[in-house]
Amino acid sequence: MADVRLNIAGRTYDLTCADGEEPQLQKLAGLIDEKVRAIPGSTEVRQLLFAALMLADEAQEAKAKADRSEPQSDSLRAAVALAESRETQARDELAAARREIEALKAAPPPAAAAAPRAAHDRALLQIADRIEALATKVEQSA
């Protein structure tokens, strides 16, 4: 246990507290003393009473503000969780797509693809032959 000396409204108070709590108690006593000194011309008891009421009011306002912000915090937590799950899903889909690409690269080209290409090449040769024939006729006509 530790002893701490507090000064509030010009009076000294000696208290015992748990070890390490002395700075916090001195800080709180400073807040109370500040409130008491803001109330001029009353008895010490009335000053302490009004200081206690002002501090209680501030504490209540802070709690109400925290309560109002809690639903927003819940919404933000839900949004973060959704974003994280979507990120995981996107990573999984990306990994699957990469595996599929690697499998396609490793696989030999299908033989059926050669047949349509050959037919395509024959069609192009036939078109080229027709164009040459037409060009020859045009030259002969001229």
Give the pLDDT confidence of 5-30 residue by residue, as tens digits. 999 988 899 999 999 999 999 999 99
Contact 13, 26 (CB under 8 A): no
19 part of a folded domain: yes
Does residue 23 fall inside a structural domain?
yes
In a domain, 129, yes or no: no
**Domain annotation covers residue 85:** no
Whether residue 55 is contained in a domain is answered as yes
Tell me the C-alpha distance between 107 and 30, whole Å.
78
Kindly state whether residue 77 falls inside one of the protein's structural domains.
no
- The count of structural domains within the chain is 1
Instruction: With 0.75 as the threshold, say if the pTM is over it.
Output: no
Q: Is residue 103 part of a domain?
A: no
Report the distance separating Cα 17 and Cα 4, nearest Å: 7
Domain that holds residue 41: 2-68
- Judge whether 136 lies within some domain: no
